[in-house]
Amino acid sequence: MLTAQRQQLIKDELSSQGRVYARDLAQRFGLSEDTLRRDLRKLAAAGICQRVYGGAVAPDAGPLHQRHQHLSDEKQRLAAAAVQLITPGQTILIDAGSTNTAIARALPADMDLTLITNAPDIATIVAGRGDMRLIVLGGVFDPQTGACMGPTTRAEVASLRADLFFLGSCGVSAAQGVTAFDAETAALKQAMHAASDQVVIVATSDKLGTAAPFRVLPAADIATLVIGEDAPGAAALAALGVPCVTAL
């Protein structure tokens, strides 16, 4: 990846998030923190950001901006924790959903990854970077979930395989396991599960302890559950033997 390109991505994140962490950037780009600190110093010298201990912030952080940042903050932290489960060379299957979009954005650079997704917006995010392969699952686009589904999609999934499957946008509870809002979604997620070695669920606290009508898979099939530190209902899941990773 080009140095200029990397610095452009930092600029993008600064303008969209209002802040960046040197440590986080170094991990994502697969470079030393020294290099990223140099980048931040350079951007600060150009007036693009302001250097602070631990990273950098955008010069003009409006009040509304901070609010928006607060809302998405949980997902970003969860995503940062989730991508640490990935090892170089793996094939990653990513479902649709806003949490999974955050994961796609947080994917570390230059790890020779192959990404499979049925969400066009995730495909677009990853399409811009040349450091990973991308396989798109086709099908009928569902505006509700932002994903492609239907028989074509399920057939395509069945002909592929992945090391890690990031399953998203569902209810997760100890008693009911993972559940979905409609039959088609549930069937697709099951097909994705069948094509993957491990299922990872990154759940915001509003998903935990809730259940939808359609059963996807039992809690015991979850390889890793990534949750926030104060997540409700986590104890019940941990009691079932579901491996939990706590973000932050």
Partner DNA sequence: ATTAAACTTGCATAAACGTGCAGAACGTGC
Partner DNA sequence: GCACGTTCTGCACGTTTATGCAAGTTTAAT
Binding residues for a second copy, per CB under 8 A? 2-5, 8, 11-12, 15-19, 21, 50, 52-55, 57, 61, 63-64, 67, 118, 120-121, 123-125, 127-128, 130, 133-141, 143, 146, 148, 152-153, 156, 159
Rounded Cα distance, 209 and 84, in Å: 25
Q: Quick one: what does residue 108 bind among DNA, a second copy, none, with the CB cut-off 5 to 8 Å set by partner type? A: none
Per-residue x/- track, 41-80, DNA (CB under 7 A): x---------xxxxx-------------------------
Residue among 32 and 144 whose Cβ is closer to DNA: 32
Cα–Cα distance measured from residue 86 to residue 32, given in angstroms and rounded to the nearest whole number: 19
Contact predicate 166/245, CB 8 Å: no
| Separation between Cα atoms, residue 116 and residue 162, nearest integer Å | 8
* Cα–Cα–Cα angle for 62, 65, 71, rounded to 5 degrees: 150
Q: How many CB atoms lie within 10 A of CB 111?
A: 17
* Residue 32 interacting partner from DNA, a second copy, none (CB closer than 5 to 8 Å by kind): DNA
Residue 239 interacts with, from a second copy, DNA, none (CB under 5-8 Å by kind): none
Q: Are 173 and 160 in contact (CB under 8 A)?
A: no
Distance of closest approach, residue 13 Cβ to a second copy, in angstroms = 9
Query: Residue 193 in contact with residue 165, Cβ under 8 Å?
Result: yes
Contact residue for DNA among 6, 154, 189, 193 (CB under 7 A): 6
The 10 Å Cβ neighbour count of residue 25 is 23
Give the residues lining the site for DNA (CB under 7 A): 3, 6, 22-23, 30-35, 37-39, 41, 51-55
